[in-house]
Structure 1
Amino acid sequence: MLNGMQIDKKFIESLRFLSQTSRILTQPLQKGELISTILEESLKLSEADLVSLVMLDQGRAPDDVYVMSPGAKKKLHLDPEDFDFNDQGCEMSVPCDLNENDVWNSFFKEKLDRRFACRLRLPLFFKNKWAGHLDFYSQDSSCFEKENMVDFLKALADSFSLAYENAEMRELVQKKTFENRLLIDTSQMLANVLEQDEVLAAIAEALKLVVDYDGISIYLLKDDGYLYAIHSKGYDDPEYENLLRDKLGEGLVGWAAETGQGVVVDDVSKDSRYIIARNSTKSELVVPIKLKDRVIGVFNIESDRENAYNEHDLDLLSTFAAKSAIAIERASLYRELVMKRQLDQEVSIARSIQKTFLPRRKLELEGFDIAGINISSRQVGGDYFDYIKIEEGQTGLVIADVSGKGIPASLIMASFRASLIAEIRNNYAIRAIMQKVNRLLTESLDHGNFVTAVYGVLDNKSKIFTYSNAGHFPPILVDKDGHTIELKEGGLAFGIEPEVRYEERPIGLHDGDILIFFTDGVTEAQNSEGDQFETDRMVDIVSKNRDKTAEEIAHTIVDAINQFKDPDFILDDLTIMILKVVT
């Protein structure tokens, strides 16, 4: 009778303990708190030597096992490939003997230096799906044989399953609320930021609060068909720095941009599209950034864990991409606008400097009327003309044209002008000046760049013009009767060969003569039929307007070119210099 009363008392104590534990588990605990509680209470109720908890992560094999023994609680890392978590077998809910070859016995021997003789494995079900197991280990082969012990432990496992499922639901609601709040806050913040670097850094920082990553790269699709990483973090190996650029259709990033679809990759080593950019990456999540169904870029996040991302993460990142698209596009346009303004300012300064290279005032020479016009196809150009006072009664005249256009051409022209003026001050012989300028330019110019030029000295007393032509369009002398002479004497254009011998030639000028200097922008202007303006047309205009001043003749030629050319034809740099002999 006493023995029966003792059994009943033990039964009642266990039942009371189970009831108390169930009440604890029904409290709104976080998942981590629940895991600690179930391990502690299971150890007390079962009197086992060790309790372990294994839970599948949304159906995927876990990376860790939680264990507790008297006085110790640990989380042990495991290799999922060493265990078959889907093999529930006959071991479930029934105490069984273990041998030394049991995979879990071997695992605990390796990790804890302990072996066990008996195990009771209880299944855990979340939402009616098997989700793991709660294991009780004992070094006594007759473990868990106390009456009703297995039933109590089953009830405890069921209580934990229900509590954990409720905790997951609470966590999901809290996470969803947080994600929505974060999306709203991020959208509001992005609406007030224009700097591209700030926009991208804010997006990356906000995203990490809801989708963890070890590496992130945000790409923009450029007109050349390549995706360029305009923001990245976690790519510290310089070996892969140049790989943060993908061609449309290549790699996971290129695939997402081409198809307009996102993708979750559980194991990058098994996906042929993956291009390695981080040695430690195990899984990846990629989504396109779309603006009105147009792909403008790609979000790419990488993890050092396999199976790090799921469909919910894909949806969340896609929402982030949609919210970010307008801000990224706006920041890109703002960046382009700022850069354009800076470039315009720099070009304006360059144009102002270049203007100082041209004659600032009309040259007054007794017996001559001289004028010039310089019109750049862009704000700065590669054409140049000047009048250079050498000594009393002698004036240097120069016209030049650099291969290319824009700022590069203007920089080469500045170098040519400096070299020419320096040599004019050191030498009087024209051929020597030409040879030294050519040598200097050949040494400094990249292959394929060159300068054509005509330089000569006008003696206004003797009315003799001595010149040398470095591969330039020959100036044309039109006499009072309309006859023409081309000034061809000289040598190669500057910058092609280092050692070139230049010839010079004097030519006498007479009353009524008009000498026309010009660049290819004059003669190569085209009409709608593809015909060029050419020198004959220019000479004819000069002949018909010879009674006008040099400045008027130059403007008449420019007016004729504008009337002749097709409205859609873009003129090259255009320069005209007119020297007229007057009585």
Structure 2
Amino acid sequence: MPARRNRNIALSPSLLHHSSPHQVRRRRAVASVVTPNEAEQRRAAEIEQELQLARDIQQGLLLEAAPRIAGWELTALSLPARDLGGDLYDFLRLGEGWRGIMIGDVSGKGLPAALRMAVTRTVFRHEARRDGSAAETLARVNRGVLSEIPQGMVTMLYVRLHPHTGEIFLANAGHTYPLLINGSVQEIELSGLPLGVDDDSAYREACARLLPGETVMLYTDGVVEAENPQGEIFGFAQMYSLIAAHCHLKPRALVSLLLHELRSWTQGSGQSDDITMVVLRRRLSRLGDELRSIADDVLGPARAAQLWNQFGDRIAPHERDGEDWPSLLAEIGALAQADFGRGLSRELTQQLRLTIEEYRSADRD
């Protein structure tokens, strides 16, 4: 019988680790299991991606700055909430010198709200450019919203402004009342159903003529519903009291003040809703009076009086002949810097210069 020879067989790694079909299926099943923590992370990433898309849509819809209208000051601000609501505003140039100003709040949060915003603004722009009153425009926008957005509703306030006469015509679809600021704070009480509720909704219209120095403020409910860490809302009463105590402020300063107070109130707890404000003010008729009001706004009434005691008498001649403003502004800026600091001086002279240019441009027109 032949002797047996030992054979050394080298097995490949694949053979050494060969698994049965059952073992393969089991490993795949184990690998496909996602821990709860991983699932949460994936969902959070998806939500953040969706919110970023919504932010991009919203910021693309909102104007970077309010337009300049001769004889008027306009300021607009919109701060999105953590979960991104549906606040929007818009400005339109209409026929025969009229301007359109709109503020609205679309129901919902995140991407659905952003998409509704886009549709709503498109419908609004189309209808506002057609002939018709503010009330008729909202009625048409309402039908368009119902057609294009079957679910969800929109509050909207629409103002038609004639810059030369100061006339405003307003219509309201379930939005917060606008405020008239003229030494006191008054609501312009005007109501109506939100857009997207009833196809047959009709809207009333209010009209007023703003006098030089008067201001109108439009805002969304995120202003008054801002909560502090204890869950208390900022509220209408606190907002009215704050504005009444600072009626002399111009639109930009008023918005800055309200924003500062809201941030102090929430104490960094974050917004649960968007905060949006649009403020328009009719400038004073005389340039000298407007320049003094700017000094009041930037420096405060007491400091402005101190400055104007030295320069007030020199404003009138410049107002008449329109010459040598740069020299006078340089003197005002130098004194303001010496007394109140470089920052206030720069802010003051910049606003004075822009206002002078606007008034002189209007005179040439």
Give 1:405 deviation, angstroms.
Answer: 1.4
Match of 1:468 among 152, 171, 192: 171
CA 1:208–1:506 in 2, change beyond 3 Å: closer, same or farther?
A: same
Match of 2:157 among 442, 447, 454: 454
Provide the residue aligned with 2:121 in structure 1: 417
Q: Which has the higher strand share?
A: 1
Give 1:504 deviation, angstroms.
Answer: 1.0
Asked if 1:371 is matched to 2:75, the reply is yes
Rounded Cα–Cα distance in structure 1 between residues aligned with 2:194 and 2:241? 28
Give 1:474 deviation, angstroms.
Answer: 0.6
Asked if 1:329 is matched to 2:34, the reply is yes
Rounded Cα–Cα distance in structure 2 between residues aligned with 1:529 and 1:332? 30
Cα deviation, 1:224-254, whole Å, max 9, x if unaligned, reads xxxxxxxxxxxxxxxxxxxxxxxxxxxxxxx
Equivalent pairs counted in the alignment come to 273
Give 1:392 deviation, angstroms.
Answer: 5.1
Give 1:394 deviation, angstroms.
Answer: 1.5
Provide the residue aligned with 1:525 in structure 2: 226
Provide the residue aligned with 2:144 in structure 1: 440
Q: Which has the higher helix share?
A: 2
Bigger mean CA deviation after superposition, 526-535 or 398-407: 526-535
Rounded Cα–Cα distance in structure 1 between residues aligned with 2:50 and 2:226? 29
| Contact kept in structure 2, 1:347 and 1:379, CA below 8 Å | yes
Asked if 1:386 is matched to 2:90, the reply is yes
CA 1:531–1:378 in 2, change beyond 3 Å: closer, same or farther?
A: closer
Provide the residue aligned with 1:560 in structure 2: 261
| Contact kept in structure 2, 1:382 and 1:405, CA below 8 Å | yes
Give 1:395 deviation, angstroms.
Answer: 1.0
CA 1:209–1:526 in 2, change beyond 3 Å: closer, same or farther?
A: closer
Identity %: 25
Cα deviation, 1:107-127, whole Å, max 9, x if unaligned, reads xxxxxxxxxxxxxxxxxxxxx
So what's the TM-score if we normalise by structure 1?
0.43
Provide the residue aligned with 2:21 in structure 1: 208
Rounded Cα–Cα distance in structure 2 between residues aligned with 1:331 and 1:529? 32
Rounded Cα–Cα distance in structure 1 between residues aligned with 2:59 and 2:229? 32
CA 1:577–1:531 in 2, change beyond 3 Å: closer, same or farther?
A: same
Rounded Cα–Cα distance in structure 2 between residues aligned with 1:454 and 1:559? 25
Provide the residue aligned with 2:291 in structure 1: none
CA 1:209–1:456 in 2, change beyond 3 Å: closer, same or farther?
A: same
Give 1:450 deviation, angstroms.
Answer: 0.6
Cα deviation, 1:289-325, whole Å, max 9, x if unaligned, reads xxxxxxxxxxxxxxxxxxxxxxxxxxxx5xx48x936
| Contact kept in structure 1, 2:51 and 2:110, CA below 8 Å | no
So what's the TM-score if we normalise by structure 2?
0.66
Give 1:337 deviation, angstroms.
Answer: 6.0
Give 1:495 deviation, angstroms.
Answer: 0.6
Asked if 1:478 is matched to 2:314, the reply is no
Provide the residue aligned with 1:534 in structure 2: 235
1:107-506 alignment, distance < 5 Å: 181-182=17-18, 208-210=21-23, 320=27, 324=30, 328-329=33-34, 333=38, 344-345=48-49, 347-378=51-82, 380-391=84-95, 393-447=97-151, 449-480=152-183, 482=184, 484-506=185-207
Q: Give the partner amino acid of 2:104.
A: A
| Contact kept in structure 2, 1:395 and 1:457, CA below 8 Å | yes
Cα deviation, 1:542-569, whole Å, max 9, x if unaligned, reads 2333333312211211110110125446
Gaps of 5+ in 2: 1-12, 285-365
Bigger mean CA deviation after superposition, 402-411 or 352-361: 352-361
| Contact kept in structure 2, 1:394 and 1:457, CA below 8 Å | yes
Cα deviation, 1:246-284, whole Å, max 9, x if unaligned, reads xxxxxxxxxxxxxxxxxxxxxxxxxxxxxxxxxxxxxxx
Rounded Cα–Cα distance in structure 2 between residues aligned with 1:349 and 1:490? 33
| Contact kept in structure 1, 2:82 and 2:272, CA below 8 Å | no
| Contact kept in structure 2, 1:381 and 1:407, CA below 8 Å | no
RMSD over aligned Cα atoms:
3.2
Q: Give the partner amino acid of 1:181.
A: H
Rounded Cα–Cα distance in structure 1 between residues aligned with 2:65 and 2:270? 31
| Contact kept in structure 2, 1:423 and 1:436, CA below 8 Å | yes
Gaps of 5+ in 1: 1-176, 183-205, 217-316
CA 1:513–1:539 in 2, change beyond 3 Å: closer, same or farther?
A: farther
Q: Give the partner amino acid of 1:208.
A: P
